[in-house]
Structure 1
C-alpha cells in the first residue's frame, strides 16, 4: 500500500518526480497571512513558529509600554543581535518613557528600518538578526536593525598573494565586503542589489555593478539565471557558482572567483557584475574570459616591463605545466630520433634497470606529486611545508635508488609541478593539472601526433565556451575593441577603452586631451 501511494506522487512521462511539501504545510499557509491586532494571538503564533522555549537562543520579552498603557513583546535571536543595543535603545525607552505619545517612532530612538504585517516576511527578518516589536492593538510589526554577527576582521588574502598592491581581503561578513568596495568606488552609480535565491535557507545574494556602465541585457540575463535556481539551500558562493555556470561539468571555469576587493572593483569599473554572499569570503565576477582567469592583479601594480615579464612567464609556465610530461612520454616512446645522440645515451643509461615503460613512470610520479601537494595543504599549517619538502625528497630519492624511476623523470615532474603553482586562479589551476593527465594518455598512445590532435580539439572546445553569452577568448576571437590587455599590456595611459565584448554604456575609459 505504501509503495502504491509513493508511486502516485510521481508524475507520468519523462518529467522528474514531484513530491509535495509534507513537513510543514500548516506553517507555509500561516506565513502567507498577516498578523492580528490581538496580542495573545500574535505571541502564540511566533512562539509556535520559532519553537519557543525549546529553541534556546530565541528570546521573547513581554512588557508594558507605560506611556501608552498597552502590552507589547519583542522577539529576537540572541546569538545574532546586539543585546546591549536592544536593552538600552528599545526596551528601556519603551518601558521608562513617561510622555504620552501615540507613535512608537516618537518613543524609540533606535533607527527603525521599516514596519511589516506579513507573518512570513517578519519571520525572515527575525531569522536575519533583526528585533521585532509587537504592540497590542497594532496590525503591524516594528522592525529594528539590531544585527551583530561575529566573524573575522579584514585580513590578508590566503590564495591570491601579491608583493605590491593592496593587502585587504574579503571576509565572511557581507556588510564589510560591501564597505570595502564602497571605499574603492566612491560613486553614486554603484548599485548593491539584493535577491533571495533559496526557499528554505533564505540566503541573500548581492549583485554589485555600476548602473551607468553595465549592459542591461547582461544584467537581465544574470538575474534570470539567479531566478531560475530551484534549491532549498546554497550556503556559499562556490556552490552558487556551480548553479550559474552554463556547463558545470566543463573542465574549464567560466566564472572568476576572487578574494580581493581591489580586483573586484577594477572589474566593476569595466562593466562587469559581481556577486557577494553572506558567509563567503570572496566574490564571483561575471562574465569571465580565459584572459581574466590567467591574469593576476599584480600585473597592473608593477611597472609595465616588470608586469609583462611576470605575465609572459606565467603563460610559459602554463604550457610547461601542461606539456612537459606528455612530450617526455611521446619522445621516449615514439620519437627517439628527435633526441640528440649524447642525450639519448644518457636517458637510455638511466632507464636501463627501470622495469616500467615511461608512461607508467610519469603517471606514478604525477600521482605521487599530487598526493604530496594535497597532503601539504590539508595537514596543520606548521607541518604542512615540512611534509611537502621531506615527502618529495625522500620519495624521489628512494624511488631512484630502488631503480623504480629514472632520474630524468624526477626533473620532468618537478618542472611540471612547479610551473603549475604560478597559475593563481584555483579553478584554472585544477583545469591545467587535470588536462595534463589527458595529454599524457594521448601522448602515450599516439605520440606527439596524439597530443597535437588533442590540443587542437581542446582549442575548438575552448572557443565554443561562453560565459553569459560572452565568448571565452574575447576580445581576441571574436575580435572587439578593448585596451588590448591580453598577453602583453600597455602602459596605463594607453589603455583607453573598456572591453567591447561587454557592450558597456561608456566605452571610453580615458579620453585624449
Structure 2
C-alpha cells in the first residue's frame, strides 16, 4: 500500500510542469532594441527602465543645446559619478556653446568614451557609473566615463605581511588595482581584457596578461571557463574562484589568491594570467602549482642565503604541522620501542594520572587551539591577541592541573599549531590544518603504518590534481624546463627560464651574461 502511494505521488510530481523563474519579458525585449530618434520616447523608455523617480539615486537632467536648438537629457546614478565633472565639462559646455557644430566632440571638453545605440548596452553602461547623453534626433547616445566610486585608499596588506619589499596591496577599486599593475609593468603588451559574468549583477571580470608571453590555448581555456559560469550573482573573487576550480570539493587549492600587486606582476611576467574584479581587494593567479602556494613573495626580496633559509624553514614547518600530532599518537600507542628509555619514563610519568587515551587528548587540544585561533580573529582587534594568549595559558594550565591533559601534549600541540602559521597562503593554510586531523585519525587507527599509508595516498591524490591542465607538482613532475625555483632558489642571474609547463611564447627570461 505504501509503495503504491509513493509511486502515485512521484508520478503526479513528474507531471507537474517545472517552475522557471522569468524576468519581465517586455523589458528583456525592450533591451534588445535600439534607441529611438524621438526625444520623448527615449526619455520615457529610460525613466521606465530605471524606475524614475521612485529610484532616488537615478538622476535625469533635461536641457536645450542652444547652438543646435535641440533638446537633450543626461541620465546617471548619482552615487557612482563625479558630479563636478558632469556639471563643468558636459552640461555647461552644451548649454553655453554658441558655435553651431553638429559634432558633440567639438563642444564637450570631457573625453568621450564611446557611442552606443542598443538600449541594453546603454543600461549596462549607466549601471557601471557612466553618464549617458541623449540628443533629440540622434540615433545613438554619447557615453562619458564619469565614474567616481568611493572606497579606501591603497594600504598595507593584512594577510601577506613581509619585512623586506613592497608594502602596497590591492583595494576594492579595480581602476586602482590595474594602475598598480601598470606601474610595475610598463609594457605595451600588457593586456587588460574585460568580460561580463553573472546574469543579474552584471559583474565585470578583468583578465590581465602579456600577449607576447601568454599561451593562447591556456588563455582560451580560462575564457571558456568564465563563459560557462551560469549564475545570477558573483560579487567577489573568492566566490568566482569556487566556480572556476576543476575540483571545488578538493582539500587543496588550485588557484592562487593574493592581495599583493608585486606578486601578481611577477607571475604575469612569467606567462600566468590573473583575474581582477570590482569590489575585490585581491586577484586570482592562474594556473597555480603546489610550489607557488607554498612560496612567499619575501623569498625573492631577501638575499639568496637568507631566502633559502626561510624557505627550508617553511618546508620543515609544513611537515611539523602535519605530522607532529600523528607521530606522537603512533609512537605512544603502537611503537613504544622506538622511544629511548629515559624519554619513555618521562612520558609515562606525565601520563600517569591522565585517564584519557592519547588520541582523545590530542583531538581535544587541537580543537581548543583552533577555537582560540578563530576567536582571536573574530573579536575586535585590540582584544584579539589578548584573548588568544590568555585563553591558551589558562586553558593549558587548567587542563594540566586537572590531570585531563599531559604537559607533553601541550608542547606537541603548540609546536604543531605554531608551525602552521608559517604558511602564508590562506587556502593552503586551511588545507594543512584539515590534513592534520586526517593524519591523527590514520595514526590512531594503524600507528605509523596508517600515517605512512595515508601520506602515500595523499601524494597520489596531489599528483592527480591539475590547475587548468597544468599538473600540480610541475615542473618537478612531470619535469619541464624552468628556473628550478622549487625548494631552494638560485641567485637571480641564474634564473634564466620562465616556467616551461606554461609553454610561454618566450621561454628565456634572460640571456647568458
Per the alignment, residue 13 of structure 1 pairs with none
Give the drift of 1:139: 1.3
Q: Stretches of 4+ moved more than 4 A in 1?
A: 3-8
Structure 1 alignment gaps of length 5 or more: 11-18
Instruction: Report whether the alignment pairs 1:454 with 2:457.
Output: no
- Aligned residue pair count: 503
Matched, 1:70 2:70: yes
* SS of the residue 2:60 aligns to: strand
Q: Which residue of 2 aligns with 1:313?
A: 313
The offset of 1:4, in angstroms, is 7.6
2:259 aligned partner: 259
1:63-142 alignment to 2 at 5 Å?
A: 63-142=63-142
- What is aligned with 2:56? 56
Q: CA deviation at 1:270?
A: 0.6
Residues 1:409 and 2:417 aligned together: no
Q: 1: CA distance between counterparts of 2:125 and 2:344? A: 73
1:426 aligns with 2:434: no
Q: How does 1:339-350 map to 2 (within 5 A)?
A: 339-350=339-350
Alpha-carbon displacement from aligned partner over 1:456-500 (angstroms, at most 9, x marks no partner): 000000000000000000000000111110000000011111111
Q: Tell me how far apart the structure 2 counterparts of residues 230 and 179 of structure 1 sit (CA, whole Å).
A: 30
Deviation at 1:137, TM superposition (A): 1.1
* Cα distance per residue 1:277-311 (max 9 Å; x no partner): 11111100000000000000111110110000000
Alignment-derived partner of residue 463 in structure 2: 463
How does 1:224-303 map onto structure 2 within 5 Å?
224-303=224-303
RMSD of the alignment, in Å?
A: 1.2
Counterpart of 2:17 in structure 1 is: 9
What SS does structure 2 have at the residue aligned with 1:59? Answer: strand
CA distance in 2 between counterparts of 1:4 and 1:360 reads 51
What is the deviation of 1:328? 0.6
Deviation at 1:22, TM superposition (A): 2.5
Partner of 1:15: none
- Give the match's secondary structure for 1:409: helix
The residue number in structure 2 matching 1:387 is 387
Q: 1:85 to 1:251 in 2, by over 3 A?
A: same
- Structure 2 stretches lacking a partner, 5+ long: 1-10
Q: Normalised by the size of structure 1, how large is the TM-score?
A: 0.97
CA–CA distance in 1 between the matches of 2:22 and 2:14? 13
SS in 2 for 1:102: coil
Which digits, 9 at most, give the CA deviation of each residue in 1:432-473, with x for residues without a partner?
Answer: 000000000010111010000000000000000000000000
CA drift at 1:250: 0.1
Look up the match of 2:31.
31
Q: How far apart are the structure 2 equivalents of 1:331 and 1:25?
A: 69
Q: Structure 1, residues 133-152: CA drift from partner, whole Å, max 9, x if none?
A: 11111111111110001111
For residue 6 of structure 1, report the CA deviation from its aligned partner.
9.7
Q: 1 CA distance for matches of 2:104 and 2:264? A: 42
Provide the C-alpha distance between the structure 2 equivalents of 1:138 and 1:510, rounded to a whole number of angstroms: 55
Deviation at 1:8, TM superposition (A): 4.2
Q: CA offsets, 1:367-405, max 9 Å, x none?
A: 000000000001110001101000000000011111111
TM-score by length of 2: 0.97
* Aligned equivalents of 2:91, 2:20: Cα separation in 1: 42
In 2: Cα distance, 1:279 partner to 1:117 partner:
29
Alignment of 1:145-224 (within 5 A): 145-224=145-224
Taking the aligned partners of 2:194 and 2:384, their CA distance within structure 1 comes to 40
Q: Secondary structure at the match of 1:383?
A: helix
Is 1:485 aligned to 2:485, yes or no? yes
